[in-house]
Amino acid sequence: MTTNIEQAINALREGKFVLIFDSDSREAETDMVIASEKMTPESIRTMRKDAGGLICTTVPAETWEKLDLPYLAELFVEAYNKHPGLRLLAPTDLPYDTKSAFGITINHRRTFTGIPDHDRALTISEFAKLGQRVRGMTQEEAKEALGKDFRAPGHVFLLNSQPGMLDVRRGHTELASALLTLAGMYPSATVCEMLGDDGRSLRKEKAQEYASRSGLVYLDGAEIIEAWEASKWSK
């Protein structure tokens, strides 16, 4: 019998969405997830209309380290002396995490404003292609390739995945990236929180109903963690 994980892996390879719920003890949110390399304008449209949260793209550690893409919080720390008010914004009160995954924002240089469906799909899919290409480059070559094709700031929010992924952090960034790793794909996912008509995070049972109605795989984070810990990728 095919497991949920196997169904999700097959869906991602086919360029389909999967839904991932992190856990009741964390954000208790469901994210709509797709492989960044499979991104299309139609996928962006589905995410903004059916999910409604912030559309973000995960960056595996091997890529953000090669490209020298910092965490946004690190840039804030470096700016404390010039802008001391930023120190007061430190996210020291998050009840579900100790570190934000947010990196910088980018647009592809072939976009205009960067926000239409076509623009964001282009930025995301081309960034995934770049991430795969830079594996064989020196760091200087990789940074030059990034600057040639992308500008910042932009309208695609990058999320830097922790080295070790689920061995270190268990947010949606790592859950989605780990699932793509298990699928044998480039581990960049594009994710978007699902919101309800009441303006709050979509309740789990409502997200499950959407998955059933749309023919999508719904995964609990615990299922991904279990598969990860049983894989060759975990410590």
Asked about 65 being catalytic, the answer comes back as: no
Asked about 107 being catalytic, the answer comes back as: yes
CA angle, residues 210, 213, 218, in degrees to nearest 5: 55
Residue of 186, 193, 210, 218 marked active site: 193
Residue of 107, 160, 192, 218 marked active site: 107
Asked about 74 being catalytic, the answer comes back as: no
Residue of 22, 29, 31, 223 marked active site: 31
Question: What's the CA gap between 191 and 172, in Å, rounded?
Answer: 8
Asked about 126 being catalytic, the answer comes back as: no
The two structure tokens encoding residue 216 = 């999508």
Asked about 144 being catalytic, the answer comes back as: no
Question: Which helix (H) or strand (E) is 226 found in, with range?
Answer: helix 221-229
Question: What's the CA gap between 200 and 211, in Å, rounded?
Answer: 18
User: CA torsion, points 42, 220, 64, 135, in degrees to nearest 10?
Assistant: -80
Residue of 6, 117, 155, 220 marked active site: 155
Asked about 22 being catalytic, the answer comes back as: no
φ and ψ at residue 218, rounded to 5 degrees: -115, 125
Residue of 96, 141, 144, 229 marked active site: 96
What positions carry a catalytic annotation? Answer: 31, 56, 96, 107, 155, 193
